[in-house]
Amino acid sequence: AQTVTQSQPEMSVQEAETVTLSCTYDTSENNYYLFWYKQPPSRQMILVIRQEAYKQQNATENRFSVNFQKAAKSFSLKISDSQLGDTAMYFCAFMKHADTGNQFYFGTGTSLTVIP
Amino acid sequence: NAGVMQNPRHLVRRRGQEARLRCSPVKGHSHVYWYRQLPEEGLKFMVYLQKENIIDESGMPKERFSAEFPKEGPSILRIQQVVRGDSAAYFCASSPGLSFYEQYFGPGTRLTVT
């Protein structure tokens, strides 16, 4: 079974500073995808960034980047130059591809507050 | 270029009533997933459907819950005889097919059982 663990229920960061959110996962799969989703107060789930497990290069999307350590099964999210609009719940997710469909597993989330 | 639509956004039901949640996937998407988010928790997979087929319902409670995705119209998640513990946010996501790894989420339906 796949599990996703986010050990930081809450975090805060000063505006313009950098923050790192942790995520670890457990799987016996070799090919999979990892995602970070943002859920602002509107509750809409928004994809922030994704990483293919077969790629060694860490994914980057503007101010968001990941540190993917496949051997350690770690997938942390770094937010640079934090903005007030980054305040949200952040969910780490693991996806494995099965013949019957893609199966997603989510962590319990980290609530991030950006302090002005 | 509409995304995933869910309605209603908020639904209040008394214990014992039925709740019907609707999800219209992105146009052209034939795969729909339903998730439940309890307060202070992450999303938990419930069921995966393709048109007219339930592919994986391993996350669905065995009783009172059912889902369908007809050939025409939205996907429906039905909860019969709701109880307080059913209060949660229910999210629908869609994808174009098996080879696509990204899911597009709807805004969710917040169900409150009084």
Question: pLDDT tens-digit profile of B54-92?
Answer: 988 989 998 999 999 999 999 999 999 999 999 999 999
pLDDT at A29 over 90: no
Q: How many helices (H) and strands (E) does chain A have?
A: 0, 12
The answer, yes or no, to whether residue A2 has pLDDT greater than 80, is no
> Could you tell me if A38 and A110 are in contact, meaning their C-beta atoms sit under 8 angstroms apart?
no
Dihedral angle computed from the Cα positions of residues B29, B45, B43 and B11, in that order, rounded to the nearest 10 degrees: 70
**E strand spans, B10-100:** 10-13, 19-24, 31-37, 43-50, 53-56, 65-68, 75-79, 88-95
DSSP assignment letter at B86: G
Check whether B40 has a pLDDT greater than 80: no
- B contacts of A100 (beta carbons < 8 Å): 48, 55-56
- Partner A contacted by B90 (CB < 8 A): no
Per-residue pLDDT tens digits for A43-94: 788 999 999 998 889 999 999 999 999 999 999 999 999 999 999 999 999 9
Which pLDDT does position A1 carry in this prediction?
Answer: 67
Give the chain A residue whose CA is nearest to the CA of B5.
Answer: A44
Residues in chain B: 114
% of chain A with per-residue pLDDT over 90: 71
Judge contact between A87 and A115, C-beta under 8 A.
no
For chain B, say whether A5 makes contact (Cβ under 8 Å). no
Helices (H), chain B: none
